[in-house]
Chain A
Amino acid sequence: MKEFKKPISMKDVPTHYCPGCGHGLIHRIICEVIDELGIREKTVAVAPVGCAVLAYDYWDFDTTEAAHGRTPAVATGIKRVLPDRLVFTYQGDGDLAAIGTSEIIHTGNRAENISVIFVNNGVYGMTGGQMAPTTLLGQKTATTPFTRRPAEDGFPFKIMEMMAVLPGVTYLERTSVCSPKEVFNTARAIKRSFETQLENKGFSMVEVLSPCPTYWGMTPLKAMKRIEEVVVKEYPLGVIKG
């Protein structure tokens, strides 16, 4: 009989995440993959600035902080010094697609052998629900009180599609966590990203569409539905490269 236990790579502590947040789920998926691959002791992770800033309190492997957005640069430094470790970054939409746009593009362009887990929930949670680059048009946030309008606030940002153009980027896939099927899909994609790195095949990134019930102003279930019915129209699931 299979026992459903917490992954070894995950500390047995309660998290601070809101009810219905995707972070807890995605943390767990990553830890299960690390357990499955048996690489906990050679993993070095880089945590972002955002709701997951405290990820090192939940992950039982080496983790460093990074200044907001500089996460891929920090990962680059680690991987170049320790090429046989599993180095991954875990970033939100502000960290990766706003302040860190330069870093993520150049890290991909340099074909750094790292993995990036990009949690796209369309808002800035930690700071109180402001617009993210990935916020949808017509969405109301703390800094788009008139909803997001293209002329004033720009369009939802497609960093993955943009990075597909770079020869240094090997594998890009977008998944979500809004159904059991998609949770397994995310696990498969993250495993593939880690294997890409371990086989020295270049830069890879998994973008996971994740719910933020608090700042979307809906229940966790409705938030999952919103991903399935609304968000995927702007951010389609599937392999973008590789």
Chain B
Amino acid sequence: MSKVKEAIICAGFGGQGVMVLGKFLANAGMMKGMYVTCMPSYGVEVRGGTAHSAVRIGSEMIADPVIVTPGTAIVMNGPSLDKFESRIASGGLLILNTSLCEHKPERGDIEVIAVPLSDEAIKLGNVKVANIVAAGIYSAKKKIFDRETLKDVVVEMAGGREELVPINIKAVDRGFDIVDQL
């Protein structure tokens, strides 16, 4: 396996599942035997406000779980775009949920995958799986994890609540399909 050194920030409003998304990606990395850290960050607000998780996935030991300059940002709402767009590394990747973000990113030196993730999730049956669709998009684009790995993570994280599995599996597939169709 070639050297992996991913630094991903998942951002949205409190309650949008960005912590779950961070844990999801970290679990995928762990399943593949890589070093991972996942660091949540909350504002003072319990609901609303901005929340983000910082995920590092790598083939070498991780020094600092805190990410200042992410190579990838998964942004689930407008205020989070305002907060994180400028921090993305040059040449990095932005996955943007256009369902909850009315304005466009301004930078010309990053790759943008803009998808109405909340609408996609609603089409699948529940807005709450928008984060997993994003995970699928990230994985398909970066080619570090395949569909099967992510689906294994879905099953593991469902941990007994079997009713959560089918829709999240569909969300993984949808994310991969979106990238295939780009």
Q: Which residues of A are at the interface with B, using a C-beta cutoff of 8 A?
A: 16, 18-19, 54, 125, 214
Question: Which residues of B have CB within 8 Å of A54?
Answer: 44
Least CB distance, A23 to chain B, in whole angstroms: 12
A18 and B48 contact, CB distance less than 8 A: yes
A18 and B44 contact, CB distance less than 8 A: no
Question: Which residues of B have CB within 8 Å of A16?
Answer: 43-45, 49
A-B contact pairs, 14 of them (CB 8 A): A16-B43, A16-B44, A16-B45, A16-B49, A18-B45, A18-B46, A18-B47, A18-B48, A19-B47, A19-B48, A54-B44, A125-B46, A214-B46, A214-B47
Question: Which residues of A have CB within 8 Å of B45?
Answer: 16, 18
Q: Which residues of B are at the interface with A, using a C-beta cutoff of 8 A?
A: 43-49
Question: Mostly helix, strand, loop or mixed at chain A's interface?
Answer: loop
Q: What residue in chain B is nearest A18 (Cβ atoms)?
A: B47
Question: Which residues of A have CB within 8 Å of B49?
Answer: 16
A30 to B37, CA, bound (A): 46
Q: What residue in chain A is nearest B45 (Cβ atoms)?
A: A16
A214 to B44, CA, bound (A): 14
The residue among B45, B46, B47, B49 with the most chain A CB atoms within 10 A of its own CB is B46
Question: Which residues of B have CB within 8 Å of A214?
Answer: 46-47
Question: Which residues of A have CB within 8 Å of B46?
Answer: 18, 125, 214
A125 to B44, CA, bound (A): 11
A19 to B49, CA, bound (A): 11
A18 to B13, CA, bound (A): 13
Question: Which residues of B have CB within 8 Å of A19?
Answer: 47-48
5 pairs of A and B residues whose beta carbons are closest in the complex: A16-B45, A18-B47, A16-B44, A214-B46, A18-B46
Question: Which residues of B have CB within 8 Å of A18?
Answer: 45-48
Question: Which residues of A have CB within 8 Å of B48?
Answer: 18-19
A199 to B44, CA, bound (A): 39
